[in-house]
Amino acid sequence: MINTWSTAAGRALTALRAVRGASAPVTCGLIALCCLIFALTPASGLTPAYGSGDTLAAAQRAYFRHWGVVPAELFDGPARAALTPATALFVHGSWVHLLGNMLFLFVFGVMTEERMGRVEFTLFYVGCGYLALLGYAAANAASEQSLVGASGAISAVLGAFLYLFPRARVTSLLPFLFFLPMRFPAWVVLPFWAALQWLAAGRAGQGPGVAYLAHLVGFCLGFVYAWVRYGKEKGPKGGPGRAVVGDGRATRVRSAPAPAPEGENHS
């Protein structure tokens, strides 16, 4: 009995060290950059220079419209609008929006960056994020709502994670199970999450809210990229990418449900 507990403790410690020891400067840098931008801009409401009340609200609307994606302008507007699907990845509409996105980026980005490498992960993140917002804009070409947020890129990270680490254990808080923490393999949690985005996208209107379609586009792009890029590589047991630590057990990661804030269209 003592030997069994000792072995289990050793495996848990090995897994914890593997996750903590992961080097992911790009993921950490993206999180720091998004937080810094948010804190220094009108979105946070922390900078006195932008005023308060109606003055602050007007500054926020102008900020989102300038740096976010406005579908109606993207395809029939100034040339600078073509850059907005990239700049919008670093703009967030509220504290809840920012913290929810950064949590998901940290949980799933560290291992994905470790697997891809820094340069490839950076290009993957920005490229898939750009295409995800572009896809949403194309499907809502007449919309005047500005679209901001990194969720398109982060959804791509989730899609790649699903292919690369399908057996990694993800601790999730599910509302319909009274937010009890439960561990499931990534191949259970992430497709379930994608299905929820699909259902929500079907009910989404044209008003302010969450751009679920951008989540879906990003998720599919990330999964397909990982499949095409790493499909011929084998994991330690002959399967595609698996998170391996020490004795070959799957790494456990932790997550939480993504928030769905209202306001400007959020991705």
Query: What does the alpha-carbon distance between residue 97 and residue 244 come to, in Å, rounded to a whole number?
Result: 32
Active-site choice (92, 94, 172, 215): 215
Residue 151 annotated to the active site: yes
User: How many CB atoms are closer than 10 A to CB 176?
Assistant: 5
List of E strands, 142-185: 147-148, 169-173, 181-185
Instruction: Return the number of other C-beta atoms located less than 10 Å from residue 121's C-beta.
Output: 22
Q: For the chain, what is the total number of helices (H) and then of strands (E)?
A: 10, 7
Neighbour tally for 216: CB within 10 Å:
22
The active-site residue out of 94, 146, 151, 172 is: 151
Instruction: Tell me how crowded residue 108 is: count the other CB atoms within 10 A of its CB.
Output: 27
Residues in the chain: 267
Pairing, β 265-266 against β 169-173: unpaired
What letter does residue 216 receive in the DSSP assignment?
H
Dig out the tokens for 58 from the structure.
């007007």
The SS3 call for residue 174 is: coil
- Is the CB of residue 133 less than 8 Å from the CB of residue 267? yes
29 within 8 A of 110, measured Cβ to Cβ: no
Catalytic residues: 151, 215
